[in-house]
Chains A and B, each alone.
Chain A
Amino acid sequence: MQKRSAHSAIPENASHSDATTDAVEGVEKLRSILLQPEREEIKQLQEQINALSFRLSDAKTRAAETSEILVEATKLTHKQDDGYSPALKPIVVEQFQVSSRENPEIMAEALFPILGPAIRKMIASMLSLDKNKTKRTYKFEQLFLIEKESGIPICHAKSDSVQTQDADMVSGMLSAIQSFVQDAFSTDEFDGLNTLQLGELSVWIEWGPSAVVAAVIRGVAPEQCRTALQQLLEDIHRDYRAQLDTYEGDASPFNTVETDFLLFMENHDSRFINRVRNMPQKVRNMGLAAAIFTITLFAWIIYNQYDKQRWNNFVTELDAQPGIVVTHNERKDGGYLVRGLKDPMATSPEQILRDTNLNVNKVVFELEPYQALHTNFIIKRLQSVLIPPDGVSLELQGSELIITGAKSKSWKVDAKRLARQFTEVSYVTFQP
């Protein structure tokens, strides 16, 4: 029995186990159906976290993303926080110092166009450049703009009367001489050759970061001319920065420099300057008188135009005034005459005139009296005749006079009678 019972117990347990397994599987399936969307969401979130974690750990990605918002973030921080600029200041100053120490040439090139004028201004204020020695004879005969590295002339200008050698070879030789002196005496580049002197001929050489200006001068030029030459070179470096940086032997982008050179030579020709200085006193006085006359004439024409414009503006403004009609205006005996009509209640023309800069005493008004039909003037005239008590107001609508706030019966009768004498009033209405 026991055996049979045992036998029969086995299938019972097995069926129970199967049922349990089925139940577990069912629950699992149900859970899978129920939780599927959440699992998907968790998976997506996990992926996002991974991507985020990669972005945060990868320096390049972080730098690229930060760069996109850096400018805006900097602006915002600067706007919101007063401490931002002071915090950056020591870093900027330190980097500026390091950069100046490590790359002085870059700094020098950047500062070259502004440094020169500043230094010269300072020196000029300290020393009086030999102003008294300018009465000398000198002439700028040739100007060369030479590319610093190759010694090839970028531009050459010469005065008409001068016979010259080939500019290409001359500038090459100047450059070679400079190199020779520099190497022979181991001088620094900017301490290089500045002047060559041969009898009455001298060559001034001014050095810039990319190009050199060499001036061939006959005679002794004053020191101001050297300052002007430095300024010319600085201007060229400022105006032709990009062309100088990319120069490869083609001088065509510098065509306009020749005009500047010729102008410089013309402006620094002592013969012209001295010609003016050496003119006889009588001729100089006549020239001065002619110049003063011309300037005076121009000044008078300009003032006259200005005065005429002011007068026209005044007449237009006067004519636009209620109660004034300008029928004629003219200039007479150095003054002005205005003819026309004026309502006695209109603004005084003299008052309007005073508001302009015109001379009140130079204007004569010939204005005939008339009655203007402006509503304001009619009301004013009615008020002067009716003399309304306090609290009474007059209003004109078309030809109807509306009187408001009148209480006195006798005044009302008088008012109605007097108002009807005005041609502009047809009806009189009283309102409480």
Chain B
Amino acid sequence: MLQKKICMLGSFAVGKTSLVRRYVDSIFSENYVTTIGVKIDKKVLSVNNTDLGLILWDVYGEDNHQSVLPSYLRGMAAYILVIDPSRPATFVSAKKLHTLVLDTLGEKPFVLVLNKSDIKSEWKMDEDIFSELSGAAIATIETSAKTDTGVDEVFQTLGICFTKAA
């Protein structure tokens, strides 16, 4: 089975952990994210009759108090960049994380996720950053962990990206 390392990146409390919680196999407590800054989960997909293992690194949210350790990004094949559009500051964090990836590893495929689509009326889009990130991403997907919307599509998009590359 082909296996790929995927990092979940995004500001603190954008819903990264909630997004994957019921879609992945997990053996570690979520406390790890706040203790050592990362938790490892796994998602097995079947894309075009090919099994694909995504090892998901749920990396601690970037905020003013703690920054992402660049060494957690090493060896990743792609990443999921999560934004909570109801908090415009998360656009800025997402851009910072995207720049960190470019500086650390160079260009890597990523899916831009606009989470919390269930409260879309509260979204305040930063159009400049959104269009820049959206233009660089392989796909932009609106999700809601609460209403179970779009999450599978995120993993399927990555899966198709890897099977095409293979």
Contact = CB atoms under 8 A, between A and B. Distances in A.
Interface of A: 147-152, 165-166, 168-170, 172-173, 176-177, 179-180, 182-183, 248-251
A176 B38 CA distance: 7
A284 B57 CA distance: 54
B3 A149 contact: no
B119 interface: no
A147 B5 CA distance: 11
A248 B75 CA distance: 10
A169 B41 contact: yes
Contacts of A148: 75
Contacts of B75: 147-152
B4 A249 contact: yes
A350 to B, nearest CB: 77
A151 B36 contact: no
Contacts of B5: 150-152, 172
B145 to A, nearest CB: 21
B102 interface: no
Given A152-B5, A165-B27, A249-B77, A172 B36 contact: no
A176 B27 contact: no
B129 to A, nearest CB: 27
Interface string B1-15: 111110000000000
Given A179-B72, A249-B3, A169 B28 contact: yes
A270 B119 CA distance: 61
B4 A166 contact: no
Interface residues of B, number: 29
A126 B72 CA distance: 40
Interface of B: 1-5, 25-28, 32, 36-38, 40-42, 53, 55, 57, 69-72, 74-77, 162, 166
B23 to A, nearest CB: 15
Contacts of A168: 3, 40, 42, 53, 55
B111 to A, nearest CB: 18
Closest 9 CB pairs of A and B: A150-B75, A149-B75, A172-B40, A179-B71, A150-B5, A180-B36, A176-B38, A249-B3, A183-B69
Nearest to A152: B3
Contacts of B76: 150
B41 A177 contact: no
A310 to B, nearest CB: 61
29 contacts: A149-B74, A150-B4, A150-B55, A151-B5, A151-B40, A152-B4, A166-B27, A169-B27, A169-B28, A169-B40, A169-B42, A169-B55, A170-B27, A172-B57, A173-B32, A176-B72, A179-B38, A179-B72, A180-B37, A180-B38, A180-B69, A183-B70, A183-B71, A249-B2, A249-B3, A249-B162, A250-B2, A250-B3, A251-B3
B28 to A, nearest CB: 6
A179 B55 contact: no
A182 B37 CA distance: 13
A179 B166 CA distance: 28
Nearest to B40: A172
A248 B163 CA distance: 12
Given A151-B75, A173-B40, 20 more contacts: A147-B75, A149-B74, A150-B55, A150-B77, A152-B75, A168-B42, A169-B25, A169-B26, A172-B55, A172-B57, A176-B36, A176-B38, A176-B40, A176-B72, A179-B69, A179-B74, A180-B38, A182-B71, A249-B2, A251-B1
Contacts of A172: 5, 40, 55, 57
Nearest to B69: A183
A179 B71 CA distance: 6
Nearest to B73: A179
Contacts of B71: 179, 182-183
A150 B70 CA distance: 13
Nearest to A179: B71
Contact of A151 (B2, B25, B55): B55
Contact of B74 (A150, A249, A250): A150
Contact of A152 (B27, B41, B55, B162): B55
Contacts of A170: 27
A170 B40 CA distance: 8
Contacts of A177: 36
Nearest to A189: B71
A333 B162 CA distance: 81
Contacts of B37: 180
Contacts of A149: 74-75
Contacts of B69: 179-180, 183
A180 B57 CA distance: 13
Contacts of B25: 166, 169
A148 B2 CA distance: 17
B57 to A, nearest CB: 7
A172 B2 CA distance: 15
B9 to A, nearest CB: 15
